[in-house]
Amino acid sequence: MKLSNKPKKEEEKAASSRRDFVKKSALITGAMVLPTMQMNAMVNMSNGKKLKIALIGCGGRGTGAASQALSADDNVELVAMADAFDDKLQGSLATLSKNFEGKGKVNVKEKHQYVGFDAAEKAMDQADVVILTTPPGFRPQHFEYAVKTGKHVFMEKPVATDVPGIRRVLAAARVAKEKNLNVVVGLQRHYQNNYIEIKRRIDAGEVGKIMSGQVYWNSGGVWVRERQPGQTEMEYQMRNWYYFNWLCGDHILEQHIHNIDIANWFIGETPISAQGMGGRQIRTGKDHGEIFDHHFVEYTYPSGAVIASQCRHQPGTWSKVGENFQGTKGTIDMKDAGTAYLRGLGGEELFKYRGKNDPNPYQVEHDKLFASIRNKGVIANAEYGAYSTMTAIMGRMATYSGKVINWEEALKSELVLVPDNLNWNSTPPTMPDADGNYEIPTPGKTIVM
């Protein structure tokens, strides 16, 4: 795929769109960070209503997010839960009930415990605030419904697995702002003090213009759940959602989005193109579905910056989760554990941040969300969440196809990975062959949009 030769007016329009994104991101970040002290001082003063919460997606991340939401405000109550599987819902409910025993915060009646593909909407109807933590393929439709029915939202990243889903999220985000709804996306580094401080110093010009960078999510991989006797293909894929693109989007999207998001945030732009490579070397079995175990992508930005992105799921190899950037005046070294360094071009240390006693950013996300609801504020994370999701999807397109992917062309993709109106009798979008193997993306052959 060649980069398109667009007429000058279209190029100017695209550049204007990216500039608008940068301005919006700056405004969003400022709105998120600046009023913190005011919000914390006013919580529960301007609005004493008990806020009802619905949890949509009751896995480990959903249970954790619900716990953080219940800890964020004195006058909140979990009243409804939804999941595809009853065992997941009951396990989550038991954990939350034990953790908040005697505090009157977990009150999920049996009639408000919803199971199945249509469970999410039923649970959201009972609440003021919804927590969206299902596999990300379902995020666009759940976010749409939450906004349509006037709910404040916490939704985990990524916010979609395909480009049509991105467009749905962006459309719903516009409506959310019109309705003054708060939307927080689980890209928690935006709420983490070392990242906030380094972003402030970047904006102050301390490292000059960022020209290059390296972002990493290299680890040994995640869980695998064995196929059980009698399972349908749909149940197997739903329980092993991480390994199927319609549900997960591959680990470049599901995990590495965190680091890709930092590149967008620190540079203040989204890429104009991506090219890369990837494949499967270690995770090659039937139980690893259709996704790659490594990706390497070069993202080129309008400013000229080039970011090298790599993620890997291979046990026994070098592990790193973090980001490095090189500017015209200095360099940045981000450590996810709360440490950050600015160094001069000669390697001398200019600034060090070590947040040993910093608050947990996962908790801060919810503290800020509920404080903003109480104070009738608006947090609007959905747009930058969608653009960072799109950046990761574009990287997947590049590694799967082996071609240069252009942002403006990619954003027009009509390739739908997640059908609407699924049920337990539906055929999954991806099916194994007669031997139980799934088709693996092949660079040079695979169609990505």
Q: Domain total for the chain?
A: 2
Are residue 317 and residue 373 in the same domain, yes or no? no
Q: In sequence order, which ranges of 289-424 are alpha helices (DSSP H)?
A: 361-374, 382-401, 407-410
Are residue 171 and residue 262 in the same domain, yes or no? no
Cβ proximity of 182 and 210 under 8 Å: no
* Residues spanned by the domain of 124: 8-189+362-388
Other Cβ atoms within 10 Å of 78 Cβ, number: 26
The tens digit of pLDDT for each residue in 77-110 reads 999 999 999 999 999 999 999 999 999 999 999 9
Report the pLDDT value the prediction gives residue 20, as an integer from 0 to 100: 52
CATH of the domain at 287: 3.30.360.10
Residue at 417 is within a domain: no
Q: In sequence order, which ranges of 100-181 are alpha helices (DSSP H)?
A: 119-124, 139-148, 163-178
The token pair that represents 295 in the structure block: 């990706």
Are residue 79 and residue 171 in the same domain, yes or no? yes
The tens digit of pLDDT for each residue in 17-60 reads 544 544 444 443 433 433 433 343 333 334 689 999 999 999 99
Cβ proximity of 194 and 358 under 8 Å: yes
CATH of the domain at 53: 3.40.50.720
Are residue 234 and residue 368 in the same domain, yes or no? no
Are residue 198 and residue 257 in the same domain, yes or no? yes
Report the pLDDT value the prediction gives residue 335, as an integer from 0 to 100: 84
The tens digit of pLDDT for each residue in 268-313 reads 999 999 999 999 999 999 999 999 999 999 999 999 999 999 999 9
Report the pLDDT value the prediction gives residue 43, as an integer from 0 to 100: 38
Report the pLDDT value the prediction gives residue 9, as an integer from 0 to 100: 45
Residue at 431 is within a domain: no
Whether 444 shows a pLDDT value over 80: the answer reads yes
Task: Calculate the average pLDDT of the chain.
Answer: 91
The tens digit of pLDDT for each residue in 373-391 reads 999 999 999 999 999 999 9
The pairing of strands 129-132 and 210-219 is: unpaired
The tens digit of pLDDT for each residue in 200-224 reads 999 999 999 999 999 999 999 999 9
Are residue 264 and residue 371 in the same domain, yes or no? no
The token pair that represents 426 in the structure block: 């539906």
> Given phi > 0 = left and psi -120 to 50 = alpha, else beta, which region is 132?
beta
Other Cβ atoms within 10 Å of 116 Cβ, number: 14
**DSSP character at residue 380:** B
